[in-house]
Chains A and B, each alone.
Chain A
Amino acid sequence: MTNKIQQLIALSISALLLTACGSAPKRIDATGNEGIVSIDNVDFKDWQIAAEKGIRSLLESGTLNRNDNRKNIIMISSVKNSTTQHINTRILTDKIRQALLRSGKALTTTAISGTGADDAASRQVRELANDPMFKQNTVQQSGTVIAPDMSLSGEIVQQQNSLGRREESYFFFHLSLTDLTTGLAVWEDNVEIVKQGKKPLLGW
């Protein structure tokens, strides 16, 4: 009986110690460097660094400047995911899109993108023509949506390497801006991020 009580106490203490090892969830600064750094994945910080460097390069290039007092209309084409991970490249393109709008150098279209319309409403509202429910002179006319001048596309490539317990991931973010009149790339740049870590001696 004494043995059983001792075992129970030991078990309780162990459980208590294990519980004490955890930490309470907390919110961290989304722009800071306190986030989790994983070797195989693109973390939120990686997206931010890629976006910051990509936007800076694009604005510095002066490619978006025009002499005719008109702003370039840019469509977001596709950013190909050539990594081994399932990642949503929209985090990158949305940041670039917002920066372009705020810069005042370009406008982006949601009527068309590499994966169809970002916002289907532009097409849907035109389908209201001849719908008796709607006052016809308030329905958007066909032939008024502005077509894009340029297209932003890219690719994310990952290369993994390991030596002993040391692991490494190399992420290559490539971005390009194509002039849709000529089909020529008027701006291209890439952002490289390398992450390295050591596997623990025991465990995973």
Chain B
Amino acid sequence: MKKLILISLCSLLLISCQATVNTLDNTEKTMQATSIDTSKVSTDGFLKDRLAIIRVDKKQRDDGLLSIQITAKNIRTSFWSQASSWFMGDNPYQIAYRFTWFGADGMEVESAASTWVPLTVIPGDTVRLKAISPSAQCKDFSLAIRENEGGRK
């Protein structure tokens, strides 16, 4: 019993050292982004428990390019989630994402700069993954997100 209490206390001390992000923003929004469904965002089950996709905004610009903004939040803020994240070494959480672009005919449009972009997401923090289509031919997109093993401590 004593051991259990000791372990719990140690865990508590360790978790209290972990930083989470607290945010504050205005409730009456004036921004008018066009939100779309998230069926085109693919994440694995493991990642889904850690990173929540909050919204996907898409804007067709006057110059023909497509602007995308994905808002995601690290939802691992509870005590046990923090303990588990600390144990797994994924706090702060390291992810990598990549956008793929498609033309009106569904064919992939090659981009000169398509790469997995690493990103650190602190528990509780909201991040925005932004991209602009490589050309005006692009009418659709797909975003892939994965854990960035290379970025772990």
Contacts and interface: CB of A to CB of B under 8 A. Distances in A.
A62 B116 contact: no
Given A33-B96, A33-B150, A102-B110, A56 B115 contact: no
Contacts, number: 62
A49 B114 CA distance: 9
B117 A49 contact: yes
A31 B115 contact: yes
B53 interface: no
A104 B112 contact: no
B111 A33 contact: no
A48 B132 CA distance: 16
Q: Is the interface of B mostly helix, strand, loop or mixed?
A: loop
Q: Is the interface of A mostly helix, strand, loop or mixed?
A: helix
Contacts of B150: 33-34, 37
A106 to B, nearest CB: 12
A18 B135 CA distance: 52
A99 B115 contact: no
B132 A56 contact: yes
Contact of A59 (B114, B116, B132): B132
A98 B134 CA distance: 10
Interface in B110-153: 110-118, 130-132, 134-137, 148-151
Interface in B74-127: 96, 98, 110-118
A32 B115 CA distance: 7
Contact of B116 (A33, A98, A102): A33
Contacts of B35: none
27 contacts: A31-B114, A31-B115, A31-B116, A33-B118, A33-B148, A33-B150, A34-B150, A45-B115, A48-B113, A49-B115, A51-B112, A52-B113, A52-B117, A55-B112, A56-B130, A56-B131, A60-B67, A60-B132, A62-B61, A95-B112, A98-B112, A99-B112, A99-B134, A102-B110, A102-B134, A103-B65, A103-B135
Closest 7 CB pairs of A and B: A98-B112, A48-B115, A99-B112, A52-B113, A33-B150, A31-B115, A55-B113
